[in-house]
Chain A
Amino acid sequence: MPNKIMPLADAVARNVRDGQTIAMEGFTHLIPFAAGHEVIRQGRRNLKLIRMTPDILYDQLIGMGCATGLVFSWGGNPGVGSIHRFRDAIENGWPHALAIEEHSHADMAGRYQAGASGLPFSVLRGYVGSDLPKHNPNIRSITCPFTGEKLAATPAINPDVAIIHAQRADREGNVLITGIVGIQKECVLAAKAAIVTVEEIVDDLEAPMNGCFLPHWALAAVCEVPRGAHPSYAHGYYGRDNAFCKSWDAISRERDTFLEWMKKHVLGTKTHAEYMKSAGIA
């Protein structure tokens, strides 16, 4: 059995290629910032990015020109406001055009489930009366063969690569997620390959019998990256850095201040630890 534990830079270099469909998940908890930054550092381009809640991390990827497509259901900086690079891409096509495919949360969750389940599509009681299907050809309808009811149908999501962050892994690369588990399990199991960054690697995972557990044999790479979810949080390790999330509004509002910050702190550093030091994050 090959060892899945490796440095983050190696995991991204081995698994993430230009033009792929990449899903980075984490429902305001455990957002894989360090891994996303590594994708930016390695200069990946023409990515179709998927994420239910594109927030600061996807703002950075979009603003740095990594993405030409975005599939999502809610885009913003929670508790703060707009994400300006996302808006600039949609409203003005900067740094280049961004093709958006917009769904709802319930639908995105179902699409990942379908992907993880080996099904071609997801079905839900959704979008009734909404304008979203008029602008998204991937939102269609199906008639139930048993009741005749009309239901929404959308294609499964099967990303080339899923990227998530978790609290812990053991030395074999088995992963445990606790707290708000979001859509991570479905995202990983829907993907062709999955990279998981973790706060720490421990001898004994002490995984509860019904915990959110991802076995090493379902993953492509496991990387130890302490504080790898900052400025989001890792339950049991550190809280959300609300001050940083607030400061992002000013950093990202203008193109030049955004680029200057990203070049200095993300492109100008080699690891997450260096980045944290450079950006002055305590």
Chain B
Amino acid sequence: MSDYTPGEIMTIEAARRLENGTVCFVGIGMPSAAANLARLTHAPDVVLIYESGTIGAKPDVLPLSIGDGELAEHADTVVSVPEIFRYWLQGGRVDIGFLGAAQIDRFGNINTTVIGGEYAKPKVRLPGAGGAPEIASNAKEVWIIIKQSKRSFVSKLDFLTSVGHLDGGDSRAKSGARGKGPTAVITDLGVLVPDATTRELTLVALHPGITVEQAKAATGWELKVATQLATTKAPTDAELATLRDLHARTAQAHGTVSSE
């Protein structure tokens, strides 16, 4: 078994969960790396949709932007931006919406808008919503991939950009959001899933060598832990080799460093 980084096991664990044939609406960055790793390993027929309008994208290298020509080049088809959101997402054809975030709360609501201060005068202005609010409320399920720390796992979001399980319980269902909402949060420490009743994120698996104490210390609220805590499988040599090849190709193509 090779050594691996926390970022690598996070990406690999997320990739493993993506079943062959799934229709996945992919966010840029870590979701894109995981989704393409799945496509290059166990899920060759996964359908990757990017908000730039590319359906069935099969990039040879990871896109730097959500609209890289690489995505269009090998896609099954390229449609307009209104069509991708209206027909394919809002029309109910997306199985998994796969998102990243700057902040997440205990109910899987996410923030990509502002950190600190007030909305009109924030401490840090983030890029904003992009496609996330409608991906989060129209995909059949949502997965979130995010590095776990007290800065990212917060008791109260500075801004709720995209809905998760809202205030927990049945509040999401009552809100008019469609789909199941977040069903998995994959981090560099482990995996969280919502409780069946309260919908609060619960730690259900840790990556090899990670302790519950580490996960709790990296969470800004009192983290719920499943009684039957699983350990994720360490990355195989084949998974690591495929991921590293992908990143090496990407770095060479873009002239930049690609990781996770």
Contacts and interface: CB of A to CB of B under 8 A. Distances in A.
Interface in B1-58: 28, 51-54
Interface in B64-81: 64-69, 71-72, 78-81
Given A52-B81, A106-B90, A125-B134, A132 B64 contact: no
A150 B174 CA distance: 12
A233 interface: yes
A242 B187 CA distance: 29
A180 B51 contact: no
Contact of B53 (A107, A182, A235): A182
A239 B69 contact: yes
A112 interface: yes
B162 A242 contact: no
B248 interface: no
A183 B82 contact: yes
A91 B122 contact: yes
Interface stretch (B125-133, B140-148, B207-215): B125-133
A74 B161 contact: no
Nearest to A89: B125
Interface residues of B, number: 56
Contacts of A212: 80
Contact of B130 (A74, A87, A126): A74
Interface string A215-252: 00000000000000000010100011011011000000
A106 B176 contact: no
Contacts of B132: 104
A104 B176 contact: no
A206 interface: no
A79 interface: yes
Contact of B69 (A29, A149, A183, A185): A29
Contacts of A246: 255-256
B177 to A, nearest CB: 4
Contacts of B80: 109, 181-183, 185-186, 212
Contacts of A105: 51, 81, 85, 129-131, 134
Given A102-B129, A130-B163, A79 B85 contact: no
B99 interface: no
A69 B119 CA distance: 16
Contacts of A124: 86, 90, 134
A125 B137 contact: yes
Contact of A242 (B64, B67, B175): B64
B36 to A, nearest CB: 15
A29 B67 contact: yes
B86 A28 contact: no
A240 B64 contact: yes
B81 to A, nearest CB: 5
A102 B69 CA distance: 27
Contacts of B177: 128-129
A213 to B, nearest CB: 13
A106 B161 contact: no
Which one of A74, A149, A240 has the highest number of Cβ atoms from chain B below 10 Å of its Cβ?
A74
Contact of B82 (A90, A113, A131): A113
B72 A180 contact: yes
B52 A182 contact: yes
A109 B69 contact: no
Interface in A105-130: 105-107, 109-110, 112-113, 124-130
A152 to B, nearest CB: 9
Interface string B104-148: 000001000100000111111101111111100110000000000
B89 interface: yes
Contacts of A7: none
A103 interface: yes
B109 A129 contact: yes
Contacts of A130: 129, 133, 160-163
Which one of A91, A104, A105, A125 has the highest number of Cβ atoms from chain B below 10 Å of its Cβ?
A105
Interface string A33-57: 0000000000000000000110000
A125 B90 CA distance: 7
A130 B128 CA distance: 12
B163 A128 contact: yes
B121 A91 contact: yes
B28 A106 contact: no
Interface of B: 28, 51-54, 63-69, 71-72, 78-82, 85-86, 89-90, 109, 113, 119-125, 127-134, 137-138, 159-163, 166, 172, 175-178, 254-256
Interface of A: 27-29, 52-53, 72-76, 78-79, 82, 86-87, 90-91, 102-107, 109-110, 112-113, 124-132, 135, 149-150, 179-183, 185-186, 212, 233, 235, 239-240, 242-243, 245-246
Which 5 A-B residue pairings sit nearest by Cβ, starting from the closest?
Answer: A28-B67, A129-B163, A79-B64, A78-B65, A76-B127
